[in-house]
Amino acid sequence: MELTFEARLEGLVEASLSGRDPGREELAWLLQAPDERTLEIVSAVSRVRFAAFGRRVKLNLLLNIKSGLCPEDCHYCSQARDSTAAIASYAMVGEETFCAAAERARELGATRLCLVASGRGPTEREVEHVARGVEAVKAADGAMEICACLGLLAEGQAERLGEAGVYAYNHNLNTSESFYEAICDTHTFADRQETVGRAKAGGLSPCSGALFGMGESDADVLDAGYALRELDPDSVPINFLIPIEGTPLAGLNELTPQRCLRILAVFRLLFPRAEVRIAGGREVHLRSLQPLGLYLANSIFIGDYLTTKGQAAEADLAMIADAGFEVEGGGPAGERELEPIALKQGILD
C-alpha cells in the first residue's frame, strides 16, 4: 500500500534524527512536493533543527577584504573576469578594517566574522596579510570566531591561517560535479573538493555549501548535497542566486520562496547536526517567508554580502525575536544606528 504524504515525511525526519541517510529517492520526492504542503514540510523538518540547536540562531558578519579583478569566470559572480557589473574593486583592506568589522560583529551579536577575498587563491603575501589582521582581531577579542574564504588553498596555507587564529575555512562546492562546467571552466569541481580537504587537514573547521537557482536540476541539488556529505563539513551555507546585471546569469529568476524552503529542508535532513546557514539571496527569494527559514536553518548572515546589500541588521534581529528564536551567544549589545565599515586600504594596494 502506498504511504501517505505524512508517513513519507515522518520517515524522512526519523531517518535524519537517527543519523541515517534519508535516501535520495525520498529527498527527490520532497523537492517535488506541492507548494501547498510547504508548512507541513517546515513543521516536520524543524524537529531535526530543534533536536540539535534548540531555538538558537547563530549570526555571522561578512567582510569583503578584497573585491573584484578576479581571473576566474564563475558565471554567477559579479567579481569574475568577464563580469561587467558595477562594483567596487580594491586590494586587501588594512588591519583597521578587520578590527572595525569585528567590533561591529560584537555589537550585532554575531559570533563569527567571515573574511572573503576575490581571486583564484591567496598568494603567500596575502596569507601573511590576512594572518596579521586576524591576529589583531583575536588580540582584541579572543572569543570571536574567524572564518576565511580566500579561494583555492596551496599546501601549508591552512596551517598558517590556523596559527594566526582562523577557526574555519569556507570553500563552497556550489553545485553538482556534472553541472559545474556550466557555471565555471577556469577551475574544476575537484579543485574545490581538494581545498576543503586541505582546510580540514590543516586543522580548520570545514565550511562548504552550495548555490541554487543557476538552472540546476533536482538531481544536481541532490548530487551537490551528497558530495558535501562526503566532505563532512561543520557548517553548510545555502545560497540562492542573486542575478546581478553584468553577469552571465543576469535575468535568471527561477526560484520561489516555497522552492527555497524545500531545498533548505533537504539540506537540514542531510546535515542534522551541522550548522546550516541561510546565506546570500535569502532576502530576494524567501522574501516574506524568511522567518520560516529559521525553522530549518540555525544560522544566517547579518548585514551585507560581498557586492549586494542585505536586509537591515535591525530587521533581522526583530525577525529572529518575533519568530521566537534567540541569538546564540547573548544577542546584540544595543539598538543604536550602526555606521558602515570604512574600507581602509592595506599594504597590498
Confidence of residue 286 (pLDDT cuts 50, 70, 90): very high
Is residue 318, in this structure, part of any structural domain at all?
Answer: yes
- Other beta carbons within 10 angstroms of residue 282's beta carbon come to 27
Reply yes or no on whether the pLDDT at 342 is more than 50: no
Q: What is the pLDDT of residue 88?
A: 85
- Any domain includes 139: yes
pTM over 0.85: yes
- Domains contained in the chain, number: 1
- 91 near 66, Cβ under 8 Å? yes
Taking CA atoms, 155 is separated from 124, 200, 258, in Å, by 10, 12, 42
Instruction: Tell me which of 342 and 303 has the higher pLDDT.
Output: 303
Q: Supply the pLDDT for residue 81.
A: 86
Residue 70 is a catalytic residue: yes
Residue 337 falls inside a structural domain: no
Q: Of these residues, 49, 112, 192, 207, which one is catalytic?
A: 207
CB contact set of 264 (below 8 Å; sequence gap of 6+): 238, 276, 278, 293, 296, 297
Q: What confidence score (pLDDT) does residue 343 get?
A: 41
Q: How confident is the model at residue 79 (pLDDT cuts 50, 70, 90)?
A: confident
pLDDT at residue 348 greater than cutoff 80: no
pLDDT digits (tens, 9 = 90+) for 211-267: 999 999 999 999 999 999 999 999 999 999 999 999 999 989 999 999 999 999 999
Residue 161 is placed in which grid cell? 591561517
pLDDT of residue 308: 63
Cell of 286: 524567501
- Lowest-confidence segment of 25-29, 70-74, 228-232 by average pLDDT: 70-74
**Pick from 24, 37, 2: which is nearest to 270 by CA?**
24
The helix (H) or strand (E) run that includes residue 66 is strand 56-66
- Is 207 an active-site residue? yes
Torsion of CA 133, 134, 137, 138, to 10 degrees: -150
Q: Is 260 a catalytic residue?
A: no
- The answer to whether position 163 is within a domain reads yes
Residue 9 lies in a domain: no
Confidence of residue 325 (pLDDT cuts 50, 70, 90): very high
**Which of these is catalytic: 49, 112, 114, 198?**
114
CA gap 316, 309 in Å, rounded: 13
Known active-site residue 114? yes
- Band the pLDDT of 1: cuts 50, 70, 90: confident
Which of 49, 74, 104, 259 is catalytic? The answer is: 74
> Could you tell me the residue range of the domain that residue 44 belongs to?
21-324
Q: Which of 161-175, 196-210, 243-257 has the lowest mean pLDDT?
A: 243-257
Active site residue 74: yes
Query: Looking at the domain assignment, is residue 308 inside a domain?
Result: yes
Q: Which of these is catalytic: 106, 262, 268, 277?
A: 277
Report yes or no on 14 lying in a domain. no
Lowest mean pLDDT among 1-10, 151-160, 177-186, 306-315: 306-315
What CATH number is associated with residue 163?
3.20.20.70
pLDDT at 330: 66
Burial of 125 (0-12, 13-18, 19+ CB in 10 A): exposed
Q: Label residue 304 by pLDDT band (50, 70, 90).
A: low
Average pLDDT score over residue span 307-336: 78
Residue 13 lies in a domain: no
Given 77, 149, 184, 260, which residue is catalytic?
77
